[in-house]
Amino acid sequence: NKTIFVAWEHAYLQRVVQNIMNSYGGGAAVPAWISGDYDSLYVVRVNYSTGTPRATFERDTEGLNGLSTACPY
């Protein structure tokens, strides 16, 4: 089973992800969310295969910034 957590509100997201990383990711630093950033994603993967949960963190983007404002259709 997998649980997927999606948060649109970013005010507390950094804290939530940092708590996960402190508990399961060796305290890896999670960068603060930049105000006005609507393109970023915080991706946390938790691996349970070794018996002890281990988390990894990655900051990714959707690639939505800089798109044309004109509708192509």
Q: At residue 5, does pLDDT exceed 70? A: yes
Instruction: Tell me what percent of the residues of the chain surpass a pLDDT of 70.
Output: 97
Domain tally, the chain: 1
The pLDDT of 43-71, averaged and rounded, is 89
Question: Residue 50: how many CB atoms within 10 A of its CB?
Answer: 7
Residue 67: predicted pLDDT? 80
* Helices (H), ranges, 9-58: 13-24
Which residue range forms the structural domain that includes residue 32? 1-73
Mean per-residue pLDDT over the chain, rounded: 87
In the 8-state DSSP scheme, what is residue 22?
Answer: H
Instruction: Tell me what percent of the residues of the chain surpass a pLDDT of 90.
Output: 44
Which of 9-16's residues contact partners 24+ apart within 8 Å by CB, and which partners? 10/37, 13/42, 14/42
Residue 37: predicted pLDDT? 85
